[in-house]
Structure 1
């Protein structure tokens, strides 16, 4: 029910235009973009510092762990999708 209502509101061109012209929505968008870029900058700096301080063995270990985590999460997502499709 809520999804249907939200979909209707999102597809209502006049409503979207009015909201986008409102000060609150513009300000919220500005703040969201600001937070995104600040977080991106902080993450880049932290990553660069970590990489500089890592030995080649530690860096390789980090990459291996990252790859394994990505594979595990992909498998979990695949299993979750498969279980949802089997229910329907």
Structure 2
């Protein structure tokens, strides 16, 4: 309950949201998301996967991509933690 209130307060704080949006990590994360979206779209269009895949196959492909992306994020976090300890 308290956590939900705190998140709602922080999300509705315009000054905080503005500062966060101007920070390097948030800008970089947004750039990466857009990059992944455009590369994925181009990959699908170039290989004509939208014509070949059934909806179930497409869901499986997207799930695999999302899992791979999460693994890469976790690996990057671990690498950063190791570097910070050194």
TM-score with structure 2 length normalisation? Answer: 0.50
Larger radius of gyration: 1
